[in-house]
Structure 1
Amino acid sequence: MNIHGHKVAGELVDRETRCKHYYSKKDIIAIKFFCCQTYFPCFSCHRSSGCQNHAVWPKDRFDEKAVLCGSCGTELSIRDYLACHSQCPECAAYFNPGCSLHAHYYFEMT
C-alpha cells in the first residue's frame, strides 16, 4: 500500500500504517526493516511477509531514515525516533509508547 508516497507492506488496516496486529489510535508508525529495506507496520507483518534474512539496524546506521510517521508522512532517522518521546517532531502526532518494548526487533539496542 502506498502511504504518504512510501510503499508500506504488511497486513494493513488503514492509511496511517495501522495493521491487524497493532491498531490503536497511536499505532501510526511503520519501520523500514534493515534486512529488506521495506517499511512494515510491525515485526509480525514482516515475519509473515516471508523475509528470510531478518536483521536489525546496527547502531552505526542510526542516522538513516527508517521510521515513517503514518499521520504526516515524515521519515525520521532511527536516532530521532528513539529520542522523540513518542511524538512526531513534525506534526506532533503521538506514537504508541509501548513500541519501545519491541525496539530490539528493529534496532541494535545493546
Structure 2
Amino acid sequence: MVTVYGAVVDSATRCVHYHTDVDIIAIKFKCCGRYFPCFQCHNEERGHEVERWNWKDLENEEVVLCGSCKKELTFSEYNDGQAQCKFCSAQFNPKCALHYDLYFDLKKETQ
C-alpha cells in the first residue's frame, strides 16, 4: 500500500489545502519519491525544494495515485483520462491542470 504524506484529512488523499469532492489524487514528488496531496503539503513537511518530473521521466513512471481505488497512474494515463481514473472512473479535479508546472516540466527538449 502506498503511503501519502502531508496534511491528509481522509483516506481519499484530500488535504487541508485541497479538499473538494474531486480532490482525490496524490502526486509522487521526484525529489523525495513520496506521495503528497499537493505542493503545499510537500513544502510544509520536507526540507528541500521540489524537483519537477521532466517529460522523459513521465513516459513510464507512475506519478499519480487515485485516492478512490488506490491505483497508481502514469502521467499520460492521468492526463489523458479526461479528469477521471482509468481504473475506477472516479472524477478528478480538472483544475489540477492549472498547477502542472509545479510538479511537471512538460517542455520537450529540442535537439
Q: Decide whether the 8 Å contact of 1:36 with 1:51 is kept in 2.
A: no
Runs of 4+ in 1 over 4 A off after TM superposition: none
Aligned position for 2:8: 12
User: For structure 2, which runs of at least 5 residues remain unmatched after alignment?
Assistant: none
* CA distance in 2 between partners of 1:99 and 1:51 (Å): 24
Q: Structure 1-normalised TM-score?
A: 0.93
* CA distance in 2 between partners of 1:50 and 1:70 (Å): 21
The number of residue pairs the alignment matches comes to 106
Structure 1 position 44, deviation (Å)? 0.5
Q: Decide whether the 8 Å contact of 2:43 with 2:49 is kept in 1.
A: no
Choose which of 30, 55, 60 in structure 2 pairs with 1:59.
Answer: 55
* CA distance in 2 between partners of 1:58 and 1:109 (Å): 6
Pairwise CA RMSD of aligned residues? Answer: 0.9
Q: Structure 2-normalised TM-score?
A: 0.92
User: For structure 1, which runs of at least 5 residues remain unmatched after alignment?
Assistant: none
* CA distance in 2 between partners of 1:96 and 1:28 (Å): 8
* CA distance in 1 between partners of 2:38 and 2:91 (Å): 17
